[in-house]
Structure 1
Amino acid sequence: MPMPEYPTALGASTPDKITLLGQDLAEDVMGKVSFGELAFWLATQRRPTTGETRVFEAVLAALADHGFTPTAIVTRLTYLSAPDSVQGALAAGLLGGGSRFLGVTEDCGRFLHEVLRDRQLPLDVRMDGEGWDELALSVVRQEREAKRFIPGLGHHVHKDGDPRTPRLFEIAREEGHYGPHLSLFAAIGRVHPRVLGRTLPLNGAGVCGAALADLGLPMELLRGFALLARTAGLIGQLAEELRNPVANEIFLSVDLNNLSVPPEPYGGQHG
């Protein structure tokens, strides 16, 4: 009976050689391929151009760390509770990458992609600013009527503009990867005040999703790239926790200031 085969174009080993993506790992990859370039290559199984690598690595840098967010705090607190489990602390932080933090990258990329798909616009479509603005107006009005929020629009800290956003637009333009997702997202930023009656910033996580989508990366993996970036940031959080610990103070600030109150039955229970 023949043994089953499990084909893969990724890593494979023999007693004297390791191959990765069809390359000799030791000779062709190590010391020659940056980690960002390799991450892109692994996800797409094609080697990115220099311009694609620059945009992709700019996205990774934009998402690596954003201060004492819940992902950072829970990583530090988990390490405080289980210093023998670095992997647990990192995993705890990554598990917090959801719809409010980090997940916006995926949500925005998917949202823009679905708009383009539903209107049957090819991914190499080229329109002038007026054309994109007209499309964006219809999108914002549609979402407003449906009482839905547009992913990537607004930020809880950067009320007057996220500094990452214009820089990512700039880098994408410089490298020739300012495609339809970024074009639509920028148009939403221009026209939404006419519908919403107020101006909200395009946040960095959202523009990261648009940039990744314009690079042709799988929609299903966009959050994965955000988590890849945040892993580096969480390692930095742990390194700082070792040098200048704050997790115990965070824990005690809650533990020593709790207020005992009468129990309040859950409203969904039936008596």
Structure 2
Amino acid sequence: MSEDAKAVRHWWRTSIIDMEPGRIAFRGHPIQDLIGNVSFAQMIWLMTRGDLPSPEQAALLESALVAGVDHGPQAPSIAAARMAATCGVGLNNVMATGVNMLGDVHGGAGEQCAELYLDIAARMDDGADLQTATRDGIAHWRETYGKIVSGFGHRFHKPVDPRAPRLMALVRQAASDGAVSGRFADIGEAVQAEIGSQRGTEIAMNIDGATAVIFCELGFPPPLSRGLFCLSRSVGVLSHGWEQMQQGGRNKGPMPPAYLPEFEPR
């Protein structure tokens, strides 16, 4: 092989897929051996991590993916997808519109919460006890990002986000089975308790706080926490976009036509 040919092949080098005519292998596994033998969650793990998870790890990952699929048209990603569906674009454009709404605030909370958990874990590795590490980690978070701690509190679900207790129960079960350590479950609950103590009233752990526990327990780095949430939420974006296409409508905006935005003179 010439040096030029080697340079071309090196341009898009990858350890994810080995593909040539008549052959497709992901991370060394021929596709025909994976089809029908691994779940979608296991395939996600293989693609992003390079190996296959245990059944218990895969089940925990899948629980997080299931929990985040949808939160209704009040969620900006879903609302945007439904509006796009009335504008004459294709379903792929509808999905892109919704997924592109998942930014630092809507969609990024899980990544940010995972960063907080890992910061607290690092403080504990340096010798701090859980309570001190949690208090100092929250203080550092607020100095850096502001008052709101991602992963805790919810505009709609008060006092409990119904998704979080179930996810945390699954983490505890996985820890008792030896599939994960349970360390980040302890950290997540400590953060929840500390914020509640500082506020003088209980605060809910929301889905971002709970899924961040799962992703940290499973060893996913924070940026992948956001990516996995986006992957999960794309199911809701697809479902709502398709439903809106079946319902019809033209150029639907965020409010019915009978309601006009308030004019606020400067």
TM-score bracket, normalised by the shorter chain, equals: 0.7 to 0.9
Aligned to 1:136: 134
The 1:39–1:203 alpha-carbon spacing in structure 2 relative to 1, beyond 3 Å, is same
Does residue 1:227 correspond to 2:230, yes or no? Answer: yes
Cα deviation, 1:205-227, whole Å, max 9, x if unaligned, reads 22111210121112222111000
Cα deviation, 1:139-198, whole Å, max 9, x if unaligned, reads 445556775322111100111111111111111121222533221111121232222222
- SS of 2:86's equivalent in the other structure is helix
Aligned to 1:268: none
CA drift at 1:242 = 3.4
Q: Distance in 2 between matches of 1:36 and 1:197?
A: 40
Number of equivalenced pairs: 254
Q: 2:88 aligns with which of 82, 92, 95?
A: 82
Q: Distance in 2 between matches of 1:261 and 1:133?
A: 49
Q: Distance in 1 between matches of 2:132 and 2:263?
A: 54
CA drift at 1:250 = 4.8
Q: Distance in 1 between matches of 2:265 and 2:199?
A: 41
TM-score, normalised relative to structure 1: 0.83
Aligned to 2:260: 258
The 8 Å contact of residues 133 and 190 in structure 1, kept in 2 or not, is answered as no
Aligned to 2:17: 11
TM-score, normalised relative to structure 2: 0.85
The 1:258–1:170 alpha-carbon spacing in structure 2 relative to 1, beyond 3 Å, is same
Aligned to 1:153: 152
Q: Distance in 1 between matches of 2:113 and 2:229?
A: 12
Q: 1:39 aligns with which of 40, 44, 66?
A: 44
The 8 Å contact of residues 178 and 211 in structure 1, kept in 2 or not, is answered as no
CA drift at 1:204 = 0.9
Q: Which runs of 5+ in 1 are unaligned?
A: 265-271
Cα deviation, 1:112-165, whole Å, max 9, x if unaligned, reads 112322x1628xx9x9xxx53443344445556775322111100111111111
CA drift at 1:260 = 7.8
The 8 Å contact of residues 102 and 227 in structure 1, kept in 2 or not, is answered as yes
Q: Distance in 1 between matches of 2:212 and 2:262?
A: 43
Q: Distance in 2 between matches of 1:35 and 1:227?
A: 15
The 1:21–1:100 alpha-carbon spacing in structure 2 relative to 1, beyond 3 Å, is same
Q: Distance in 2 between matches of 1:71 and 1:50?
A: 31
The 8 Å contact of residues 150 and 208 in structure 2, kept in 1 or not, is answered as no
Matches within 5 A, 1:99-178: 99-117=104-122, 119=123, 121=125, 131-140=129-138, 148-176=147-175, 177-178=180-181
Matches within 5 A, 1:155-234: 155-176=154-175, 177-234=180-237
Identity among equivalent positions (%) equals: 22
The 8 Å contact of residues 91 and 242 in structure 2, kept in 1 or not, is answered as no
- SS of 1:71's equivalent in the other structure is helix
Q: Distance in 2 between matches of 1:253 and 1:192?
A: 35
Between stretches 73-82 and 190-199, larger displacement belongs to 190-199
Aligned to 1:269: none
One-letter amino acid of the structure 2 residue matched with residue 44 of structure 1: R
The 8 Å contact of residues 64 and 229 in structure 1, kept in 2 or not, is answered as yes
Q: Distance in 2 between matches of 1:12 and 1:258?
A: 55
Q: Distance in 2 between matches of 1:61 and 1:143?
A: 28
One-letter amino acid of the structure 2 residue matched with residue 136 of structure 1: T
One-letter amino acid of the structure 2 residue matched with residue 190 of structure 1: A
Q: Distance in 1 between matches of 2:156 and 2:227?
A: 24
CA drift at 1:15 = 1.7
